[in-house]
Amino acid sequence: MSSFKFADEQLAGVYRAIRERRDVRTGFLPEPLPEELLCRLLNAAHQAPSVGLMQPWRFIVIRSAEVRRVVHGVFSDASRAAHETYSDERAELYSSLKLEGILSAPQNICIVCDPDNAKGHRLGRHTMPETATYSVVCAIQNFWLAARAEGVGVGWVSIFDPEALKSLLGIPASFVAVAYLCVGYVESFAAYPELERAGWEKRMPLEDALYSEHFGRPYLPEEKNS
């Protein structure tokens, strides 16, 4: 047993945040988040690991209803195009899904990556330059988990033409638009992913994603391996 382990209650809190984090698209409340709370969440994001200590994330906090309306238009165009790729029942199901909370969440946050920034001196990026973007995703997950622990809902919207989103928000061409988050207090947190509840997709058991020694070889606990 590690002497660095958190106290039981703290440990339970960490696992609870992980288990009960949800992607939220409905039930946002209009009350804005207090500034200190938003800063705590952004600080949690900013403490994420990053390749070469590059910290390539940049956060654009959007509160303006006007900006959110235009962003929502970019979402609607992309969602219409996505809908056209499905047919029959899947198309019907797609149109029944609520896939964003851009207008109802009082805070939106666009998180972008500066993939060519010199900070970090390219450590870890010589062979895998995409690790800059992976680092930004780590920051987003920190934000998401801290938000759940604070009782704040977060919904990730990716249904955009990224170039249209970048141009709308004045994001430099060399940056990557990684995520657009809808953030706010919520009526409730669902026990299950919305897409599972709607019948779009099911969660798979861990066993289906877990292998031993080589890709595809079923995982066996250590005692059964030897």
Ligand X SMILES: Cc1cc2nc3c(=O)[nH]c(=O)nc-3n(C[C@H](O)[C@H](O)[C@H](O)COP(=O)(O)O)c2cc1C
Alpha-carbon distance of 173 to 198, in angstroms, equals 37
- Window contacting ligand X (CB under 6 A); options: 22-30, 33-41, 44-52, 56-64: 22-30
H-type alpha helices, 21-154: 35-46, 65-83, 88-96, 131-149
Q: Identify the burial level of 58 via C-beta atoms within 10 angstroms of its C-beta, where 0-12 means exposed, 13-18 middle and 19 or more buried.
A: middle
Alpha-carbon distance of 3 to 162, in angstroms, equals 46
- Window contacting ligand X (CB under 6 A); options: 2-10, 20-28, 111-119, 214-222: 20-28
- Window contacting ligand X (CB under 6 A); options: 17-25, 27-35, 60-68, 211-219: 17-25
User: Does residue number 195 form part of the binding site for ligand X (CB under 6 A)?
Assistant: yes
Q: What's the closest the beta carbon of residue 36 comes to ligand X, in angstroms?
A: 26
User: Does residue number 198 form part of the binding site for ligand X (CB under 6 A)?
Assistant: no
User: Does residue number 164 form part of the binding site for ligand X (CB under 6 A)?
Assistant: no
Binding mask 34-73 for ligand X (x = CB under 6 A): ----------------------------------------
Q: Give the sign of the dihedral formed by CA 60, CA 64, CA 67, CA 69.
A: positive
Among positions 45, 152, 157, 186, the unique one binding ligand X when judged by CB under 6 A: 157
Backbone region of residue 222 per phi and psi (left: phi > 0; alpha: psi in -120 to 50; beta: other values): alpha
Q: What's the closest the beta carbon of residue 220 comes to ligand X, in angstroms?
A: 28
Extract the tokens encoding 191: 């026990």
User: Does residue number 156 form part of the binding site for ligand X (CB under 6 A)?
Assistant: yes
User: Does residue number 162 form part of the binding site for ligand X (CB under 6 A)?
Assistant: no
Alpha-carbon distance of 200 to 91, in angstroms, equals 11
Chain positions contacting ligand X, by CB under 6 A: 22-23, 25, 99-100, 156-159, 193, 195
